[in-house]
């Protein structure tokens, strides 16, 4: 599969995050994810989702903790650089979905983790691992929307506990993208609603 990533899409994601931050209004994790997934040019499935996951959580964490815009911009830059290293199709080709890796990127950037860190190194890996297990509780084929929602539902409570955050995510999320997905699991997917 020949994947071509357009920098302008990454830039639009970052810009939307910064605009949301400047509004200062906290929303639920899935609402932020959908705001970024609704950006024109973001396909149903594509590696942009590997950035959308940490960008969403970093934006909400920055609003929640009262960070300065420069700090969020720095976080988003680090998350974008790391997310771009996660290849397309990594879920099926390597067994590590980019949505779960994205939660790990969030924990790593927010906590300042590095390969030599102790506690924060553990948290980043545990967060990604918990998300992978949740994502794997449903069969393939891949669906970037489903995996982002699952990773948010699993990752947000974990991050709240470990990082002292108070972010919100809904237990019942309704997917509005299934009509664009020829491989949708429909009734097997927890987010599918007819109509």
Query: pLDDT (tens digit, 0 to 9) for every residue of the chain, 195 residues total?
Result: 578 899 999 999 999 999 999 999 999 999 999 999 999 999 999 999 999 999 999 999 999 999 999 999 999 999 999 999 999 999 999 999 999 999 999 999 999 998 999 999 999 999 999 999 999 999 989 999 999 999 999 999 999 999 999 999 999 999 999 999 999 999 999 999 976
| Rounded to 5°, angle at Cα 104 from 184 and 46 | 35
Q: Which helix (H) or strand (E) holds 129?
A: helix 119-135
**What pLDDT sits at residue 12?**
98
**What pLDDT sits at residue 195?**
63
| Rounded to 5°, angle at Cα 85 from 19 and 123 | 75
**What pLDDT sits at residue 22?**
98
Running DSSP on this structure, what letter comes out for residue 175?
Answer: -
Dihedral sign for Cα 54, 57, 60, 64, please: negative
Q: Is 61 in contact with 167 (CB distance < 8 Å)? A: yes
**What pLDDT sits at residue 1?**
59
**What pLDDT sits at residue 2?**
78
């Amino acid at each position: 599969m020949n994947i071509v990533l357009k920098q302008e899409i990454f830039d639009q994601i970052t810009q939307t995050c910064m605009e949301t931050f400047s509004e200062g209004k906290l929303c639920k994790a899935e609402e932020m994810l959908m705001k970024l997934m609704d950006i024109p040019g973001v396909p149903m499935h594509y590696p942009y989702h590997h950035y959308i996951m940490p960008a969403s959580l970093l934006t909400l964490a920055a609003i929640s903790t009262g960070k300065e815009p420069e700090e969020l911009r720095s976080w988003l830059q680090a998350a974008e650089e790391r997310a771009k290293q996660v290849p397309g199709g990594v879920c099926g080709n390597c067994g590590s979905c980019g949505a779960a890796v994205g939660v790990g990127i969030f924990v790593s950037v927010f906590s300042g983790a590095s390969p030599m860190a102790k506690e924060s190194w553990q948290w980043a890996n545990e967060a990604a691992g918990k998300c992978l297990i949740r994502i794997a509780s449903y069969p393939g084929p891949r669906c970037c929307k489903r995996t982002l929602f699952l990773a948010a539902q699993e990752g947000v409570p974990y991050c709240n506990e470990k990082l002292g955050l108070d972010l919100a995510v809904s237990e019942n999320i309704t997917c509005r993208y299934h009509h664009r997905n020829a491989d949708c699991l429909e009734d097997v997917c927890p987010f599918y609603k007819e109509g």
